[in-house]
Amino acid sequence: MFIGDIWKSLQRVFNFTYTVVPSIDGEWGSLLEDGSFNGMVGMVERSEVDVGISSFFLTTDRARVTDFSNIVLLAELVCL
């Protein structure tokens, strides 16, 4: 997994430990009617976790409640 490789490299360089916590509802993070988020974005927003690691789409709504890293991978999206 490419993202996992980057995370492991950061761990080696900065010497930190971590615990993997899966998304509580299996979602990345969608804006809900009440203005909160579900998924990993919601977990970060509520400070249940410090970091969310995945191939997120950066959206304006998500950027309001989280800080995104610089883009580390650009992939072409193809729909059939």
Domains of the chain, each with CATH number or no CATH: 2-65 (3.40.190.10)
pLDDT digits (tens, 9 = 90+) for 18-60: 999 999 999 999 999 999 999 999 999 999 999 998 877 888 9
> Whole-prediction pTM value?
0.78
5, 8, 35 from 1: Cα distances, Å: 6, 11, 32
Q: What is the predicted pLDDT for the residue at 75?
A: 64
| 7 vs 53: CA distance, rounded Å | 8
Type of residue at 44? V
Residue 5 has pLDDT above 90, yes or no: no
Q: How many CA atoms lie within 13 A of 10 on its CB side?
A: 12
| 34 vs 26: CA distance, rounded Å | 19
Q: Are 72 and 6 in contact (CB under 8 A)?
A: yes
